[in-house]
Structure 1
Amino acid sequence: MNQRQVTAVLLARGTTTRSEPAISRSIWTWARLAGGAAILAVLVWRVGTGPLVDGLRLTTGWSLAAALAITSLTTLCCAWRWRIIAGRLGVEMPLRTAVAAYYRSQFLNATLPGGVIGDVHRAVRHGREVGDLGRSLRAVAWERASGFTVQIVLTVGVLFLLSWPAFVPPAAVTVVAGVALIAVLLYLKGRRLSSRIGRALTSDLRDAVLAPRVWPGILLASTVAVLGHAAVFLIAVRATGADVSPARLLPLALLVLTASAAPTNIAGWGPREGAAAWAFSSLGLGATLGVTVAVVYGMLALVATLPGAVVLLVARQTRQMPPNSESPGASQ
């Protein structure tokens, strides 16, 4: 459970004030945006605006169609993963509803700062529909956390299997640091949270994530989703005309995609381009090519989430339709 969820629970119980959490969230939000803006500023200063323009120019129709097709599969897998966990928490939904909601959250994540607003919206909306905001928030949090865990394991595993000595130490250090940070946060929060919430977290992990009938589905869905996103990245590389073997591109794709999950982006931009510039230059391919590929991938990913915009428009029109409470002849 992250800070946003903890704050929501505390607010619901009336055990905290409104001003202090609001100020903390505001500072954290601006800090994340500043981080993404700083990365983009450094990249423009080092490589210029050429890669950005080239990335937009090289986005072609066939690459957009391929990204749409692949993203439909990854979205289905992620929605299924969410549905599995939500069902184990007692807030189940139809798969069709989960897919539509996931498309909507991806579109919001790709167009709004921070990269997590869509997930918060997805959790809150589902919570209101089922009448249990707490479990819906937990379901989305566990769904994203489990998917990212599988992604990190796959990334490190591929780096070791392909013997990439230049990237294995940084990746290993990142994983160890991330695990240590999570452990510290859980320890600190565990001292502040009530025993009931602590038991809920333990129960969620045991019954909704690591249960024998659950984790294989989560692993399968997450693996397919990660490989699908990596395939879109490879399409972005091909769109630039770069002649790089898939054996070299797959680790690059996984590294960049893992780095792009950092919540310091501006509508998806920032960490992804910085990681691509570093990774490509480390292999002698040039930071310029890395930024260009990242821009192409960003455009492909954005277009691939457009079905989420359709879901938003349909939902808005449905809400605006007046209720038909009278029959056509009632007023005669």
Structure 2
Amino acid sequence: MSAATSGEEATTMGPARRWLRWVQPVGGAVVVVVLLWRVGPGLVVDALGRIDGWSLVAVSGIALLTTACTSWRWVLVARGLGLCLSLREAVIASYRSQFLNVSLPGGVLGDVHRGLSQGRDSGEVGPAMRSVIWERSSGQAVQLCLAGLALLVVPSPVRSQLLAAPAILATAAIATVLAVALLATRRSRSRVGHGVRAVTTDVRRAVLGRRTWPGVVGTSIVAIAGHVATFLIAARTAGIVASPVGLIPLAFVVLLAMALPINLAGWGAREGAAAWAFGAAGLGAVQGFATAVVYGGLVLVASLPGAAILAVSSVRRASRDGRVRGDAHA
């Protein structure tokens, strides 16, 4: 490929990336604004006012467990790629990542930050970023499977509608994999073929390794169960009186929507999906929106250890930079 072609691709991709960076938070903001216009801001204040000490303690404890699980999953994936990552380092980076995800647009900047930080520390930015990508992707794959299972097993008055979400996502994923594989077969020497082989190697080493996949699946199941439990606590705090078992399918629909990077500091797709799911289940869209608002408030508080970690890191960095400047002047 010529340098001119590479330059043209960079020019083409630059505006596209900038456009996507704006669309993600704006899309989430639009959803929130529309919902607020429909239900009124008073509902948000009332929902957040329902959060009590019990719910905060319970969700913070669950967050500690889920963070430990996802951190160990990251350790397993990173080691599969040949990186050295301790559980302590992973937990600290994961808490920091969670806070950034719920306080910055897009919902993924925290993961980008932990990948880059780990890459700088290890001297291998590429493998570190890929470890984050495969850690998140493997968790989403397990969540998709559990969502389909929950929607099939747990009785729901809107089962046929809710089953469409994971079914569409699974079909799209399979179709994409088959299309890329076919293209790679026909053009084995192309960049696409090389990319597919690299992805296949990564997945085999980082996720599907004999000593890796049981831990990846196990930690994912526990973490997802924690997220569902957090949603049920949010529903109870918001005053929902429906059966917790009946809310499980709705929780999975909201969790799937939260994986979409269309939000404003975590707000947007979550509230829209909750309003739709609760409305379709006959519980009322307003109740779904209130539950999502409480969920967002609880998760924000549970992520505050990440804010403390960021503050301590900033102080240490400022102190280190000050010593370096002092030595330079001396």
Normalised to the residue count of structure 2, the TM-score between the two structures is 0.88
| Aligned CA distance change for structure 1 residues 194 and 240 (closer, same or farther; 3 Å) | closer
CA deviation vs aligned residue, 1:173-201 (integer Å, no higher than 9, x gap) = 43334415643784599666365543321
Q: Report deviation, 1:172.
A: 4.4
Residue aligning to 1:170: 164
Q: Which residue of 1 aligns with 2:54?
A: 62
1:28 to 4, 9, 20: 20
1:118 corresponds to: 110
Greater mean alpha carbon deviation, residues 101-110 or residues 60-69: 60-69
**Conservation of the 8 A alpha-carbon contact between 1:159 and 1:167:** no
Give structure 1 stretches of 5+ with no counterpart: 1-9, 326-330
Question: 3-state SS of the aligned residue for 1:64?
Answer: helix
| Matches of 2:150 and 2:173, distance apart in 1 | 19
* CA distance in structure 1 between the partners assigned to 2:166 and 2:249 by the alignment: 14
Residue identity in the other structure for 2:305: P
Q: Could you report, residue by residue, the CA deviation over 1:68-87 in whole angstroms, capped at 9, with x for unpaired residues?
A: 11000000000000010001
2: CA distance between counterparts of 1:38 and 1:173?
27
Partner SS, residue 314 of structure 1: helix
Mapped contact 1:160–1:168 kept (Cα < 8 A): no
Distance 1:246 1:88 in 2: 38
Between the aligned partners of 1:278 and 1:236, the Cα distance in structure 2 is 17
CA 1:272 to 1:184, structure 2 compared with 1: closer, same or farther past 3 Å?
A: farther
Pick from 197, 200, 204: which aligns with 1:199?
A: 197
Distance 1:172 1:127, change over 3 A: closer
Any idea what SS the aligned residue of 1:59 has?
coil
Aligned partner of residue 51 in structure 2, secondary structure: coil
Q: 2:89 aligns with which of 84, 87, 97?
A: 97
CA distances 1:213-261 after superposition (whole Å, capped 9, x unpaired): 2111000000111010111111111112221111111111111111111
Q: Are residue 136 (structure 1) and residue 134 (structure 2) matched?
A: no
When residues 31 and 124 of structure 1 are mapped into structure 2, their CA distance, relative to the original with a 3 A threshold, is same
1:259 maps to 257
Residue type at the aligned position of 1:313: A
Query: Is 1:233 the counterpart of 2:225 in the alignment?
Result: no
CA deviation map 1:111-138 (0-9, x unaligned): 0000010011111111111111110111
Partner of 2:39: 47
Q: CA 1:196/1:282 → structure 2, altered by over 3 Å: closer, same or farther?
A: closer
1:79 aligns to 2:71 (yes or no): yes
Q: Does 1:311 align with 2:294?
A: no
The aligned length equals 314
Native 8 Å contact 1:252 1:280 kept in 2: yes
The equivalent residue for 2:327 is none
Q: Secondary structure at the match of 2:308?
A: helix
Distance apart, 1:282 and its partner CA = 1.1
- Of residues 207, 210, 216, the one that matches 1:209 is 207
Deviation at 1:47, TM superposition (A): 2.1
Instruction: Give 1:250's aligned residue.
Output: 248
Equivalent residue number for residue 6 of structure 1: none
Q: TM-score, normalised by structure 1?
A: 0.88
Residue 292 of structure 2 aligns with which residue? 294
Query: Could you say if the C-alpha distance between residues 260 and 289 of structure 1 is closer, same or farther in structure 2, counting changes exceeding 3 Å?
Result: same
Q: Is the 8 A contact 2:67 2:91 kept in 1?
A: yes
Stretches of structure 2 that go unaligned for 5 or more consecutive residues are 325-329
What does residue 277 of structure 1 align with? 275
Contact 1:47 1:287 in 2 (8 A): no
Closer, same or farther: CA 188–38 of 1 in aligned 2, 3 Å: farther
Contact kept, 8 Å, 2:181 with 2:196, in 1: the verdict is no
Change in CA separation of 1:155 and 1:73 when aligned onto 2, cut-off 3 Å: same
Give the whole-Å Cα distance in 1 for the aligned partners of 2:178 and 2:38.
36
RMSD over equivalenced CA pairs, Å:
2.4
Q: Percent identity?
A: 45
More helix by share: 2
